[in-house]
Amino acid sequence: MPKDGHYINRSNWLRAAILGANDGIVSTASLLVGVEAVGMEARAVLLAGLAGLCAGAMSMAAAEYVSVSAQANVEEADLKRERQALIDDPDYELQELADGLERRGVESGLALIVARQMTIHDALDAHAREELGMSGSDGRSRPLQAAFASALSFTLGAAMPLAGAVLSPVGMLSVVVAVVALLALALLGGVGAWLGGAPVGRSILRVTLWGSAAMILTSALGGFFQTGP
């Protein structure tokens, strides 16, 4: 358990890391077994897997950057409006802050005293936390950080089934890739659940079932379009 006794502070980075790694493992393993089922030779399968890793990592980075940038723009627009409101009508904003504290259980007179103290300390930060739900500067959206983290976690995840394909004996590529991918997913699900304080067994079952379904589907689709002997 974390030192502060809570897991919620890990939710943002843990979600991004688990999502990226899971996507890397499942998409790359599914691509490898699907292409191999078509009947391509091992070298072509590996090249397809490597291309999938590069494309997936860049796609994850771009998607995360765009989505987090949009979130950051919304946050900045809200902060700009709040900053102007504090200039235009500070008394109203003070009372609004006090009312918010009252709704959370603080007594009326005490709420106004606390609101004044929070305003003196950092008025914008106080309103960002109480009205907008922003957890200070540490909790603000960082597009570049999110893009890098997503690309890195995807790459690390995708490297596992790709390594299995490189090391697999002749004729065993799909089996080795599937086993490596499922083991990696089980490890990822277990570690993610442990870090987030969730049931480990349920998390492992969830990720391995979905990963298996993806690989089975792409393998069946590849077999349908088989071109080899």
**Which amino acid is present at 184?**
A
Closest listed residue to residue 33, CA positions, set 155, 184, 165, 210: 165
**pLDDT (mean) for 91-106:** 85
**Which tens digits make up the pLDDT trace of 144-159?**
888 888 899 999 999 9
- pTM higher than 0.75, yes or no? no
DSSP per residue, 45-74: HHHHHHHHHHHHHHHHHHHHHHHHHHHHHH
CA dihedral 194, 181, 27, 173 (to 10 degrees): 170
Predicted pLDDT at 2: 46
**Which tens digits make up the pLDDT trace of 18-75?**
888 899 999 999 999 999 988 888 889 999 999 999 999 999 889 888 988 888 888 8
Predicted pLDDT at 1: 43
**Which tens digits make up the pLDDT trace of 219-229?**
898 888 775 45
DSSP state of 197: T
